[in-house]
Amino acid sequence: MKKRVIVIDDNRLSICILSDILVREGYEVRAIWETASCMDSIISADPVLILMDIVMPGINGVDLCRILKGNTLTRNIPVIMITSITDIEVLKSAFDAGAVDYIRKPYNPIEIAVRARSAIQIYEQQKRLEFLALYDGLTEIYNHKTVIDLIRKDYQKALNQNLPYSMIMTDIDSFKKINDRYGHPAGDEILRNISGLMREQFEKTGLVGRYGGEEFCIGIPGNGERKAEILKKAVEDSLFCVQDMEIRVTISIGVAVCCIQTKEFAAEEILSIADKQLYLAKNSGKNCVKCEIITKDKVTAEKHVRGSREEKKCLEK
């Protein structure tokens, strides 16, 4: 797919010249002549670069750039100013508004191509770094830190709305044997396929992340035991085609369902209960789901254990 560039100018001849240069460089170009109501067009186009004239009727280029940088959907798109102005203060105001570069008129095709390519490369590198900060590079689902942070917030939201909440831990059975038999590239492909199944099942209702290695973590409002059973069956019934090989795998799942509205249990504690249930599933023959429902009795027992621990610590002191 061609990278999309937007050219904004009230001069149609200028737009034609710029478009011709950019199209010859392999870009898809969209032109905007009116700045008054162009934000919707820019957002829907999702460009990798915007070239725009500084001097335009209505909203000038500097003000429009400031508007773009103030919008969460457009603030990261690089803006290159097109200008015949040599006043350094005007150029400074353009950079202060968020422009990354400027090109002087009359146009030099080589200069336009080089500056556009440079701005786009930096933009794409930044997007990649932002992606890796939130997502796992292999499976492209949330990484460990992101999914735990999001689940913590989602769990608190459920508490505030008096809703039950489930945390699910899942692990690919005998994954080391898969790597040893078929090779690590095949193992990576299995991880991608299974994360895809999880994303397909939970992306509209829950949060899915790679916890580490072959372990995944899922947070979902409501009782997630049934969903976990469906996921287990979907993996069990799947035939993964990897490097001209057909591989079947299974997963073990641990579920913790908090059915009471209490702040006695932090999200991490419920996740720990799900992890213990996963351990039980692994030691019960694998390819199964183990679930614990957290009730008032569970909380009362946990408070008693905590009190006993604190009392023991005091006596030891």
Q: What's the rounded mean pLDDT across residues 257-285?
A: 86
Q: Give the pLDDT score at 117.
A: 96
Among the listed residues 214, 236, 268, 311, the single catalytic one is 214
Q: Which of 131-135, 257-261, 295-299 has the lowest mean pLDDT?
A: 295-299
**Res. 263 pLDDT band, cuts 50 70 90:** low
Q: What is the pLDDT of residues 80-128, one digit of tens each?
A: 999 888 788 988 999 999 999 999 888 999 999 999 999 999 999 999 9
DSSP state of 35: -
| 214 annotated active-site | yes
Q: What is the pLDDT of residues 141-177, one digit of tens each?
A: 999 999 999 999 999 998 888 889 999 999 999 999 9
DSSP state of 265: S
What residue ranges define each of the domains in the chain, with the CATH number in brackets?
A: 4-134 (3.40.50.2300), 144-316 (3.30.70.270)
Highest mean pLDDT among 35-39, 214-218, 267-271: 214-218
Cα gap 227→161, rounded to integer Å: 21
Q: Give the pLDDT score at 300.
A: 42
Angle at 1 between CA 209 and CA 140, to 5 degrees: 10
Using an 8 Å Cβ cutoff, are 15 and 52 in contact?
A: no
Cα gap 236→288, rounded to integer Å: 10
Using an 8 Å Cβ cutoff, are 231 and 254 in contact?
A: no
Q: What is the pLDDT of residues 177-192, one digit of tens each?
A: 999 999 999 999 999 9
- Kindly report the pTM of this predicted structure: 0.75
Report whether pLDDT(25) > 60.
yes
DSSP of 161-190: TT--EEEEEEEETTHHHHHHHH-HHHHHHH
- The answer to whether the peptide bond before residue 106 is cis (omega within 30 degrees of 0) is yes
Cα gap 120→117, rounded to integer Å: 5
Mean pLDDT of the residues in the chain = 89
DSSP of 43-104: HHH--SEEEEES--SSS-HHHHHHHHHTSTTTTTS-EEEEE----HHHHHHHHHHT--EEEE
Cα gap 311→225, rounded to integer Å: 36
Report whether pLDDT(133) > 80.
yes
Using an 8 Å Cβ cutoff, are 294 and 279 in contact?
A: no
